[in-house]
Amino acid sequence: MHPKDIAIADFTYVLPAEKIAAFPLPNRDASKLLVYKNSLFREDTYQNIAAFLPENSLLIFNNTKVIPARILFKKPSGGMIEIFCLEPYEAICEYSLMMNKKERVRWKCMIGGAGKWKEGSLVKKLSVGHSSTELTVTLLEKLPDAYIVEFEWQPAHLSFAEIIFQMGDIPLPPYIKRKPEEADKERYQTIYAAYNGSVAAPTAGLHFTEQVFASLIAKNIAIDFVTLHVGAGTFKPVKAVIMQQHEMHAEYMDVTTDTIKNIVANIDNNITAVGTTSLRTIESLYWMGAKAKLFPESAIEDLEIHQWDVYEEPLASIHFSATDSLLSLLHWMDKNNCERMIAKTQILIAPGYYFKIVKAIITNFHQPQSTLLLLVAAAIGESWRKIYEYALENDFRFLSYGDGSLLFIPQSPDGEHQ
């Protein structure tokens, strides 16, 4: 079956509200861990995850950093307008440059209460010590699914990152039915978060501590990082009856040549993606390399992965090895003087997908009828139902602040997912 024909109603389960974790545990690595390999279940905690990973594994994390993307403005009449920043709306695609811009910047946003904002600009002021900051937002354009706004601020020497970290709130997922608290600024962030840009946390990484990293290193398990800035689309429900009618969200990825070389060097080892965002990034690299091998003169835009690319020609019939594909990507990057692959990916991983690089995934428990659940089903097939039933029956906590799992992807003799 082509993934376009998948009925999302086939990927549902009953998730009682009390199973959704509203708060994180006091200790990150005390979260429960469900290990699934060769049709067998093991139950432990993240403190001991190294025990379940083969020596010489390579774990790849997403080191994006969540920005306080939700900003509240008060109208002169007293009403509140909520601006939810989605992504930069300018020609520069590199997030670090956009976050470091001074004086003004344009963003694509969702707006709560937009119908009450008829015209003019809104202003938010904040005093810190003896200094004051003023942020002005102006509505520029309405898009089919969002709005374009311009932020302008004083003092103009401050970066947008400095402004938003003063003015904004951490954007907790919509299924967490409470207001953000001070503790969320630290807990809804991985300890290795480095690059501002996400509006949702790569939640599989929330369980990792310095002690867990030490246990991985002690077992000769290597660690590397990619960056994929998680968009609000990660929470976008699939409302379409079949997947052909659903538009997958696109996100910016940023991967260095050194990381790609590290993946090549470990291609025969157990490469584990920490989270669905890391997995989507790693697998996208394979397909970008395949495009570079097929079309060596491609521009960067031509290498980007769209929703159905990997299921349709010319990519659907290729059989390049992971090494060949990644080396082709490295060759393309060298020829184009790129030390980092900065591009968008819209890859949809659903049943029918054959994994090219990743052999295991560490991930939380996801919402019914979501693209994240489709990804899990692509990895382990119909066994996802048994895993979720087990988790529900054994007091695992679900979604972003909940517990998680280590899932090994069954391999066929040629190394691909069966």
Residues 245 and 224 in one domain: yes
Residue 176 belongs to some domain of the structure: no
What's the pLDDT at 92?
62
Domain interval for residue 297: 3-65+191-408
Residues 53 and 75 in one domain: no
Can you read off the two tokens belonging to residue 176? 């967490």
Side chain identity at 302, as an amino acid letter? D
Residues 244 and 391 in one domain: yes
Residues 211 and 325 in one domain: yes
Residues 131 and 198 in one domain: no
Count of domains observed in the chain: 2
What's the pLDDT at 122?
93
Can you read off the two tokens belonging to residue 45? 């905690």
Per-residue pLDDT for the chain (418 aa), expressed as one digit of tens each? 899 999 999 999 999 999 999 999 999 999 999 999 999 999 999 999 999 999 999 999 999 999 999 999 988 888 899 999 998 887 766 788 889 999 999 999 999 988 888 778 999 998 766 779 999 999 999 998 899 999 999 999 999 999 999 999 999 998 999 999 999 999 999 999 999 999 999 999 999 999 999 999 999 999 999 999 998 777 677 889 999 999 998 899 999 999 999 999 999 999 999 999 999 999 999 999 999 999 999 999 999 999 999 999 999 999 999 999 999 999 999 999 999 999 999 999 999 999 999 999 999 999 999 999 999 999 999 999 999 999 999 999 999 999 999 999 997 645 454 4
- C-alpha span between 88 and 73 (Å, rounded): 19
Domain of residue 343, CATH code: 3.40.1780.10
Residue 390 belongs to some domain of the structure: yes
Residue 414 belongs to some domain of the structure: no
Residues 267 and 389 in one domain: yes
Residue 248 belongs to some domain of the structure: yes
Residues 101 and 148 in one domain: yes
> Residue holding tokens 């900065």?
342
What's the pLDDT at 412?
64
What's the pLDDT at 97?
86
Residues 24 and 105 in one domain: no
Residues 234 and 101 in one domain: no
Residue 413 belongs to some domain of the structure: no
3-state secondary structure the chain: CCHHHCEHHHCCCCCCHHHECCCCCCCHHHCEEEEEECCEEEEEEHHHHHHHCCCCCEEEEECEEECCCEEEEECCCCCEEEEEEEEECCCCCCHHHHHCCECEEEEEEEEECHHHCCCCEEEEEEEECCEEEEEEEEEEEECCCCEEEEEEEECCCCEHHHHHHHHCECCCCCCCCCCCCCCHHHHCCCCCCCEEEECCCCHHHHHCCHHHHHHHHHCCCEEEEEEECCCHHHHCCCCCCEHHHCCCCCEEEEEEHHHHHHHHHCCCCCEEEECHHHHHHHHHHHHHHHHHHHCCCCCHHHHCECCCHHHCCCHHHCCCCHHHHHHHHHHHHHHCCCCEEEEEECCCCCCCCCCCCCCEEEEECCCCCCHHHHHHHHHHCCHHHHHHHHHHHCCCCECCCCCEEEEECCECCCCCEC
In degrees, to the nearest 5, what angle opens at C-alpha 238 toward C-alphas 234 and 240? Answer: 150
Residues 311 and 268 in one domain: yes
Residue 39 belongs to some domain of the structure: yes
CA distances from 303 to 30, 259, 267, 340, 345 (A): 41, 18, 22, 14, 9
Residue 61 belongs to some domain of the structure: yes
Residue 87 belongs to some domain of the structure: yes
> Residue holding tokens 């932020």?
151
What's the pLDDT at 93?
66
Residues 206 and 79 in one domain: no
Residues 21 and 79 in one domain: no
Cβ proximity of 64 and 280 under 8 Å:
no
Residues 6+ apart with CB under 8 A from 301: 343
